[in-house]
Amino acid sequence: MDKRANRIDRRCFLKLLAGVPTFVALRSVGIVYAETRRYGKLVDLGRCIGCKRCMSACKRWNGLIVERDELITDRETDLTANNWTVVNLLFDSRNRTRKTYIHWACQHCIKPACAGACPVTAITKLPGGPVVINEKKCIGCRYCFQACPFKVPRFDFEKRVTRKCHMCYDRIPLLNYMKPACVAACPVGALLFDYKDEIIREAKRRVQRRGGSSYIMGLTEAGGTDMVTILPTIPQDLGLVVAPEKVVNRNLDKIRITAAGFMGASFLTALMYIYATLTRDKQESAHEDPD
Amino acid sequence: MRIQIKKFLDTILSSVEGSPAFYVWISFLTTLVALGAYALLMSLIHSMEILEFYTNIPWEMMVSNYVFLVGSSIGLCLVSSLGYVFGLQRYEIIGKRALFLALITVILGLSSIGLHLGHPVRGAIYNALTPNMGSAMWYMGTLYPPYIAFIALWFWLLARAELAKTATESEGLKAKAYRLMAMEGLKPYLYQRLPLQKLGEKLNRLLPLERAGLGLDSDGVELRWARIIGTLAFIYALLAYTVEGSLFAHTEARPFWYGALYPVDFYLGASFCGFAWLLAAGIVTYKVKGDDIPAKLRDLFYEMAEILALLLSVGLLFTAYKMGHGLFESAKAETIMLLLKGPFSPAFWMIEIAIGIVFPVFILLYSARKRKMAGVLVASIMVLVGYFVKRYDFVVASQVYPLIKRQYPLHSYLPTFMEVLLISGIIAALLLAYTLGVKFLPLKEEMPIPRAITK
Ligand code: SF4
Ligand code: SF4
User: Is there a contact between A160 and B118 if contact means CB atoms under 8 Å apart?
Assistant: yes
Close Cβ partners of B317 (under 8 Å, ≥ 6 residues apart) = none
Q: Which ligand is nearest to the CA of A139?
A: 2
Q: Distance between CA atoms of A168 and A176, rounded to whole angstroms?
A: 12
**pLDDT of A85 higher than 60:** yes
Query: A193 vs A93, which has greater pLDDT?
Result: A193
* Distance to chain B for A131, nearest Cα, Å: 16
In the predicted model, is pLDDT for residue A258 greater than 50?
Answer: yes
**Do the chains contact at B56 and A138, CB–CB below 8 Å?**
no
- For the CA atoms of A168, A172, A174, A180, the dihedral, rounded to the nearest 10 degrees, stands at 40
Residue A201 CA neighbour count, 13 Å, CB half: 8
Reduced to 3 states (helix: H, G, I; strand: E, B; else coil), residue B335 is helix
Question: Residue A5: is its pLDDT beyond 70?
Answer: no
Question: Is A121's CB within 8 Å of B238's CB?
Answer: no
Q: What is the DSSP letter of A80?
A: B
A181 part of a folded domain: yes
Least CB-CB distance to B134: which of A116, A122, A269? A116
**Whether the predicted pLDDT of A1 surpasses 50:** no
**pLDDT at A172 exceeding the cut of 70:** no
Please indicate if any CB of chain B lies within 8 Å of the CB of A78. Answer: yes
Give kind and range of the element (H or E) at residue A44: strand A39-44
**DSSP one-letter code for A40:** E
Q: Where are the alpha helices (DSSP H) in chain A?
A: 2-37, 53-62, 113-117, 143-147, 181-185, 196-210, 251-278, 280-288
User: Residue A289 above 50 pLDDT?
Assistant: no
Residue A145 with chain B: CB contacts under 8 Å:
58
| Nearest CB to A78 within list B55, B116, B117 | B55
| pLDDT band per the 50, 70, 90 thresholds, residue B9 | low
Contact A57, A184 (CB under 8 A): yes
Distance (Å, rounded) from C-alpha A200 to C-alpha A129? 14
Q: How confident is the model at residue B455 (pLDDT cuts 50, 70, 90)?
A: very low
Q: What is the pLDDT of residue B302?
A: 92
Do A40 and A128 touch, CB atoms closer than 8 A? no
Determine the structural domain holding residue A244 and report its residue range: 37-248
Domain layout of chain B by residue ranges: 28-250+416-455, 254-413
In a domain, A73, yes or no: yes
Instruction: Round to whole Å and give the CA distance between B355 and B216.
Output: 50
How far apart are the CA of B202 and the centre of ligand 1, in A? Answer: 55
Residue B151 pLDDT grade (very low, low, confident, very high; cuts 50, 70, 90): very high
Question: What is the model's pLDDT at position B98?
Answer: 93
Any ligand 2 atom below 6 A from CB of A79: no
Query: For residue B118, what pLDDT is reported?
Result: 87
pLDDT at res. B185: 67
- Mean pLDDT of the region B283-302: 87
Closest listed residue to residue A228, CA positions, set A90, A72, A95, A40: A40
Which of B81, B137, B252 is the closest to A248 by Cβ?
A: B252
Assess A213–B contact: CB distance below 8 Å, yes or no. no
Min Cα distance B165 → chain A (Å) is 22
**CATH number for position A166:** 3.30.70.20
CB contact B249 to A (< 8 Å): yes
For residue A176, pLDDT over 60 is answered with no
Which of the four pLDDT bands, split at 50, 70 and 90, describes residue B154? very high
Average pLDDT over residues B391-415: 74
- Name the minimum distance, in Å, from the CA of A247 to any CA of chain B: 10
Between β-strands A227-231 and A161-163, what pairing exists: parallel, antiparallel or unpaired?
unpaired
pLDDT at B421 over 60: yes
Contacts of B260 in chain A (CB under 8 A): 256-257, 260-261
Atom of ligand 2 nearest to the CA of A117: 5
For residue B55, give the amino acid letter. Answer: T
Q: Mean pLDDT, to the nearest integer, of A74-92?
A: 87
Banded pLDDT at B218 (limits 50, 70, 90): low
* pLDDT confidence tier of residue B447, bands split at 50, 70 and 90: low
- Average pLDDT score over residue span B241-258: 88
Q: Is residue A274 part of a domain?
A: no
Which of B47-51, B128-132, B400-404 has the weakest average pLDDT? B400-404
- Provide the pLDDT confidence category of residue A236 given band limits of 50, 70 and 90: confident
Q: Which ligand is nearest to the CA of A165?
A: 1
How many CB atoms sit inside 10 A of residue B119's CB?
Answer: 19
Least confident of B94-103, B229-238, B259-268, B314-323: B259-268
In a domain, A162, yes or no: yes
- How much is the pLDDT for B12? 57
Give chain A positions within 8 Å (CB) of B48. 155, 157-158, 160
Question: What pLDDT is stored for residue B313 in this prediction?
Answer: 94
> Can you tell me whether residue B168 is helix, strand or coil?
helix
Mean pLDDT of the region B287-298: 85
Ligand that lies nearest to the alpha carbon of residue A113, given by its number in the listed order: 1
Query: pLDDT higher for A93 or B361?
Result: B361
The band of B449, judged by pLDDT with boundaries at 50, 70 and 90, is: low
Stretch 47-76 of chain B: residues touching chain A, C-beta under 8 Å: 47-49, 52, 55-56, 58-59
pLDDT tens, residue by residue, A201-228: 999 999 998 877 888 988 888 888 999 9
**Bigger pLDDT: B9 vs B49:** B49
Of the listed ranges A69-83, A165-179, B112-126, B344-358, the one predicted with least confidence: A165-179
| Least Cα separation, residue A176 to chain B (angstroms) | 31
Q: Confidence class of residue A133 from pLDDT cuts 50, 70 and 90?
A: very high
Positive/negative CA dihedral, B256, B261, B267, B269: negative
Distance CA B5, CA A87 (A): 65
The answer to whether residue A101 scores a pLDDT higher than 80 is yes
Q: What is the pLDDT of residue B189?
A: 73
Pairing of strands A191-195, A39-44: antiparallel
Within a domain: A277: no
Interface of A with B in 14-53 (CB under 8 A): none
Shortest-distance atom of ligand 1 to CA A225: 6
Domain membership flag for residue A2? no
Q: What is the mean pLDDT of the segment spanning B317-342?
A: 85
Nearest chain B Cα distance for residue A115, angstroms: 9
> Which of A120, A134, A145, A148 for mutating ligand 2's site (highest number of atoms within 8 Å of CB)?
A120
What total number of domains does chain A contain? Answer: 1
pLDDT at A179 over 60: yes
Q: Which residue's CA is minimally distant from atom 2 of ligand 1?
A: A148
Candidates A80, A113, A161; nearest CB to B55:
A80
B123–A155 C-beta distance less than 8 A? no
Res B310 pLDDT > 70: yes
Spatial CA neighbour of A32 closest among A200, A276, A215, A157: A200
Interface of A with B in 131-190 (CB under 8 A): 137-143, 145-151, 154-155, 157-162
Average pLDDT, chain B: 85
Q: Does the distance separating the beta carbons of A241 and B119 come in below 8 Å? A: no
Q: Kindly identify the ligand whose nearest atom is closest to the C-alpha of B120.
A: 2
- Is the CB–ligand 2 distance for residue A144 below 6 Å? yes
Please name the residue whose Cα sits nearest to atom 6 of ligand 2. A141
| Closest C-alpha to A231, from A214, A218, A243, A244 | A214
pLDDT in tens, B62-113: 999 999 999 999 999 999 999 889 988 888 888 899 999 999 999 999 999 9
Q: Per the domain annotation, does A85 fall within a domain?
A: yes
A291 CA to centre of ligand 2 in angstroms: 58
